[in-house]
Amino acid sequence: MTLLNTNDYPQCKTSNSTSCEENKRQFKIIETSPEDRRYLIKIKVDGCMYTDKDMTKRCDYIFELQDKFSCFIELKGKDIKHAVEQLESSLKNIAVQGKKYAFVVSSQVPKISISQKTILSFKKKYNAKFEIKNTRMEKAINDLL
């Protein structure tokens, strides 16, 4: 497991960015104060932090607010199962400090039973809150602290 040190990946991190988007799916963090944006870092994981196609599955982005919280983000089409696998692999292989969240923004709403089972699994295995939302997800920083 690798401890996430954003200084090790300067080409992959973006300061002052509060959102990520792919194929009409979007995740956004809502700032609650001007200070929030200054300390929030977005890291592109798939295709930057990890570029080797033979590596383990990984999420698309991580948003980190110092050592207070980290949000693992997967922007996905219809394959929710694969999105869950990518998030699980990322949580296993990238260590972070503070609260952990795993979010899927998909083009298809999954069955309720899949969501409930996954939510419980993420909490138990990774001590992370898991959530799936269709097309667009917004989270206020205060709700993540």
Express each pLDDT in 72-112 by its tens digit: 999 998 888 899 999 999 999 898 989 999 999 998 776 66
Who contacts 62 (Cβ-Cβ below 8 Å, separation ≥6)? Answer: 4, 42, 43, 45, 70, 71, 72, 73, 90, 94, 96
Q: Is the residue at 4 inside a domain?
A: no
Domain count, the chain: 1
> Rounded CA gap, 3 and 66, in Å?
13
Here the tokens at position 19 are 């959102």
Confidence at 10, pLDDT banded by 50, 70, 90: confident
Q: Is the residue at 130 inside a domain?
A: yes
Terminal Cα distance for the chain, rounded: 24
Q: Is the residue at 3 inside a domain?
A: no
Here the tokens at position 23 are 């194929």
The residue written with tokens 């919280």 in the block is 69
pTM of the model: 0.90
Amino acid residing at 72: F
Q: Is the residue at 1 inside a domain?
A: no
- Of the given ranges (34-43, 63-72, 134-143), which has the lowest mean pLDDT? 34-43
What is the C-alpha radius of gyration for the chain, rounded to an integer number of angstroms? 14
Q: Is pLDDT of 66 > 90?
A: no
The answer to whether residues 114 and 82 touch, using CB atoms and an 8 Å cutoff, is: no
Q: Angle CA(129)–CA(131)–CA(136) in degrees, nearest 5?
A: 135
Look up the domain containing 86 and give its range: 16-144
